[in-house]
Amino acid sequence: MQPASRRLFLQQTLAVSLGFAGLHRAVSGGQLTVEPFGWGPLQRDPAGILDLPGGFSYTLLSPAGSEMNDGLTVPGRHDGMAAFAGANGTTILMRNHEVSAIHTAAHGPWGDGYNRWTPALQHHVYDTGRGVFGHAMPCRGGVTRVVYDTATRAIVEQHLALAGTEYNCAGGPTPRRSWISCEEFVTGPEHGLPWTQRHGYCFEVPVDGARLCRPEPIIGMGRFRHEAVAVDPRSEIVYLTEDRQDGVFYRYLPQDPRSLNAGGTLQAMRLEGCDSADTRDWDASTPLVRGVPVGVGWIDVEDVDSDDDSLRYQMFKRGAARFARAEGCWMGDDEVWFACTTGGRTKHGQLMRYRPSRFEGTPGEVAHPGQLELFLQPDDPSVIENADNITVAPWGDLIVCEDGAAPEHMLGVTPKGKVYPLAKNVGSKAEFAGACFSPDGSTLFVNLQTPGVTAAIHLPPSARQNSG
């Protein structure tokens, strides 16, 4: 990675309330321009953990292995996350944990040697597993619920909210105060593993209510290596990414948005006039040009509960477009943003924007299709190196978590496509994940994935109101 000085930026000067309306390319002569921008250069952290702009500070929360209020331990590998308004001005974080059987060194909720597991929990655990001599060995992934007070900068309460799932990577918030958590592994008893259930699904977890929800896989959303989702609050259509080098981009049309498990139609995106398009730009054959929108269509997925993780092959053969590790996904201002982590000529990532049709999910979209745009493809790791989780800031910029070579950065991308650094992980080689903002706009939460801790980054007043 190039020195961080390549990303230094000046004091911000513009107040913004436009969100992502009217984004434009920041190109000159066909090349991306990265201008000095933002809140000033990153300042060296005396503690050697997070370098931040001047005036920013942080608090570390909920480290892996620490005890929670329910007597269980915080699972490791903190990943996707979203923030919701809680009681008395608190913020509720719904946080994924990308823990699987292969992560033998990672903490799970059940303590060392499963010494905190009790049979009383089994009815609220998706997969209790089959350990030695028939004893339970429940899966260690899932979701934790963290109640945080932004005024006192302290945790009020934390506990397990979804249990017994595998490799919960990212997900997304819904308009109904729930969090959709996604499993990134397609595994199960049919693969000879010691599980009692099939994996590779999405689960809806309520923000409010009982501590542990009753886990129910949303079969209609498909069985594949899920990464993230974005839910359009107007139509309540769910958009889904697939973390595969040759994945496709999906949407789910629920029969009843109030009950995603009630069934629906899963579809894969195709580009108009270009069946089986390859958007990855690995061999200069991509149909996408930066800043030029392309109309899309959608193809019904027939075998949504595939046994062999073949949905992407089935759909590409039938005309769906191919994407390079579509990971982070977030709903902006009437548009869906998603990151393709290894897209581009140098495989350093792409940022895509999908604008749904005003008739999205209805017959009217045939005449007025939604449009896909390649928004940014720097092909330069000193600008963006493997964009992963993303979110939209209250001031309208896109916030991007890198998953490239250490040291990792968290970046801002302005509505004009200018890129600036927001944080640098100097304390470990862990990737940033799960960036999201408190409802009051005072705090940017982000995870340092391994071994796992959440950072609450406290923003100065200017950062809460302004953008470049």
CATH number of the domain that residue 239 is part of: 2.120.10.30
Residue 135: pLDDT band (50, 70, 90) is low
pLDDT for position 134: 59
Rounded mean pLDDT, 339-362? 97
CA angle 78, 199, 301 (to 5 degrees): 110
| 229-238: burial string, b at 16+ Cβ within 10 Å, e else | bbbbeebbbb
Residues near 314 by beta carbon (within 8 Å), at least 6 away in sequence: 301, 302, 303, 306
Other CB atoms within 10 A of residue 466 CB: 16
Task: Report, as an integer, the average pLDDT of 200-212.
Answer: 93
Phi and psi torsions of 242, nearest 5°: -125, 120
**pLDDT tens digits for 221-241?**
999 999 999 999 999 999 999
Q: How many domains does the chain have?
A: 1
Query: If you average pLDDT over every residue of the chain, what do you get?
Result: 89
Residue 23 has pLDDT above 50, yes or no: no
Determine the average pLDDT of the residues in 400-421: 93
Task: For 116-151, give one letter per residue: b (16+ CB within 10 A) or e.
Answer: bbeeebeebbbbbbeeeeeebbbbbbbbbbbbbebe
Distance CA 414, CA 393 (A): 10
Q: Strands 350-355, 336-340: parallel, antiparallel or unpaired by DSSP?
A: antiparallel
Residue 18 in this model has a pLDDT that exceeds 60: no
Contact of 96 with 170, CB cutoff 8 Å? yes
For residue 204, what are its two tokens? 């809806």
pLDDT over 90, % of the chain: 80
Backbone angles phi, psi at 224, to 5 degrees: -160, -175
3-state secondary structure of 7: helix
CA–CA distance, 100 with 448 (Å, rounded to integer): 18
Here the tokens at position 74 are: 């915080």
CB atoms under 10 Å from CB of 390, counted, come to 24
User: How confident is the model over 364-376, as a mean pLDDT?
Assistant: 97
What stretches of 98-225 adopt beta strand conformation (E)?
141-149, 154-165, 168-173, 178-183, 202-206
How much of the chain exceeds pLDDT 70, in percent? 90
Q: What is the pLDDT of residue 164?
A: 96
Q: Distance (Å, rounded) from C-alpha 211 to C-alpha 206?
A: 10
| 10 pLDDT above the threshold of 60 | no
Mean pLDDT on 84-106? 93
Low-confidence winner among 62-76, 120-134, 296-310 (lowest mean pLDDT): 120-134
What are 154's two structure tokens? 């302290």
- Does the pLDDT at position 179 exceed 90? yes
Its domain, for residue 171, covers 4-467
Q: What is the pLDDT of residue 284?
A: 80
Asked whether residue 7 carries a pLDDT value surpassing 80, the answer given is no
**Banded pLDDT at 441 (limits 50, 70, 90):** very high
Under the banding of pLDDT at 50, 70 and 90, the label for residue 4 is very low
Mean pLDDT calculated for residue range 186-192: 86
- How open is the CA angle 402-408-411, to the nearest 5 degrees? 55
Average pLDDT estimate for 435-444: 97
Question: Quick one: tokens of 442?
Answer: 């005072």
Place of tokens 């470990």: 428
Once rounded to an integer, what is the mean pLDDT over residues 446-450? 97
DSSP code at position 426: -
Higher pLDDT, 275 or 28: 275
Poorest-pLDDT segment among 120-124, 248-252, 329-333: 120-124
Spatial contact of 439 and 91, defined as CB atoms under 8 Å apart: yes
β-sheet bridge partners, residue 300: 267
Question: What is the rounded distance in angstroms from the CA atom of residue 460 to the CA atom of residue 464?
Answer: 7
**Number of residues in the chain:** 468
Q: Is 247 helix (H, G, I), strand (E, B) or coil?
A: strand
Q: What is the mean pLDDT of residues 196-209?
A: 95
Q: Is residue 417 over pLDDT 60?
A: yes
At 295, is the secondary structure helix, strand, or coil?
Answer: strand
Structure tokens at 346: 């140098």
Distance of CA 326 to the CA centre of its chain: 10
3-class SS of residue 83 = strand
Give the pLDDT band of residue 462 (cuts 50, 70, 90): confident
Count of helices and strands (H, E) across the chain: 2, 30
Dmax (CA) of the chain: 67
Which band of pLDDT confidence, cut at 50, 70 and 90, is reported for residue 191? confident
Taking 90 as the threshold, does the pLDDT of residue 204 lie above it?
A: yes
pLDDT, residue 132, reads: 58
So what's the pLDDT on residue 464?
Answer: 64
User: Is it the case that residue 418 has pLDDT exceeding 50?
Assistant: yes
pLDDT score recorded for residue 249: 98
